[in-house]
Chain A
């Protein structure tokens, strides 16, 4: 990023190539709409580009970038929810919210049946993640898929590390119940009451 700040356009290209896929995936899992996710990812890069001259390396670049991305995604989700509430006054609730673009299932020449199973499994996981409260969702995505350090995630979500650990526990606990058929198909998963405060951090 410091090279980008110094006016090196090639370094910006490098950043773009390195982070566009993780960023689009993170945003897609946050908003569940590929077009919106791509638009938001472009907005993140645009903001990085705009801020390049004033960039001060106070934190890791990824922390800074995902902070911008998370804020944009949360705003988008809230705006969208507001829009949907307005629409739903006249229309029946939309049950199939998934984006039309097919998920990229690893190509191991699967049969049609296997492919259908994989798609349904992926859709179920995505739906479970999306059912989490926004902050928990962002925490899980940054922890599980982006593998950011706890201090980085805490900075992105503007909370303490201990609050983040509780947040993650509650999120995984919810997912464990929601995805029980996939987690342990033979074992009955009981909803264990979370003993810590359920208040959002």
Chain B
């Protein structure tokens, strides 16, 4: 009873390997296991023989050939396929294509162009310079304040124009003004 059960479980385990064994694609260990079982189990041996015979019968199924119109029909179906259009073909004119390209390139260039990076130390130095310039300008104004306050009087003081000014001074003044 126990021996029969063991044999049945062996038969069941051989089932999934039988096809692989019969078509010659089993690994050596698998083949050895199946052969060992077949040598002791008449039922499985008989089934294996019938499987071999079945495959011989299945070989008798004749094959058919495609009809002569097969290729032509396929070519017609391929020709009827909508052609894949590239992005450029979707654009209506070459000018527009060029404009789009230029726009894309320009935006890419602008977005990828390196920006001036200012380090924190440089920022603080720039701030210091700006403050210094502002202070200098304020001091200059304070220094010239008396002259600026009397600017109207000084500019209309005719006596100054009557003074003899040496030509060298005038040329210097002119040069200063042109500067």
Contacts and interface: CB of A to CB of B under 8 A. Distances in A.
A176 B15 contact: no
Contacts of B20: 150, 165
Contacts of B71: 16, 20
A150 B70 contact: no
Interface in A174-201: 175-176, 179, 182-184, 187, 189, 192, 194-196
B63 A196 contact: no
Nearest to B43: A192
A136 B39 CA distance: 29
B60 A125 contact: yes
B159 interface: no
B62 interface: yes
Contacts of A145: 58, 61
Interface stretch (B48-56, B124-132, B144-152): B48-56
Chain A contact residues (Cβ within 8 angstroms of B): what range? 35 or more
A interface SS class: helix
B12 A42 contact: no
Given A46-B74, A49-B78, A25 B43 contact: no
B47 interface: yes
Contact of B64 (A103, A121, A182): A103
B81 A192 contact: no
Contact of B57 (A16, A29, A106, A125): A125
Contact of A183 (B23, B54, B70, B73): B54
Given A21-B63, A34-B64, A42 B70 contact: yes
B25 A150 contact: yes
A118 B168 CA distance: 133
Contacts, number: 111
Given A150-B20, A165-B19, A168-B19, A50 B81 contact: yes
Contact of A125 (B18, B43, B58, B74): B58
A149 B25 CA distance: 9
Contact of A46 (B62, B67, B78): B78
Interface in B2-39: 8, 11-12, 15-20, 23, 25
A64 interface: no
A122 B47 contact: no
Nearest to A39: B73
A99 to B, nearest CB: 9
Given A24-B70, A42-B74, A166 B60 contact: no
Given A129-B58, A189-B50, 15 more contacts: A21-B63, A41-B66, A41-B70, A46-B81, A104-B62, A104-B65, A143-B23, A169-B16, A169-B19, A172-B19, A172-B51, A176-B51, A183-B53, A183-B54, A194-B15
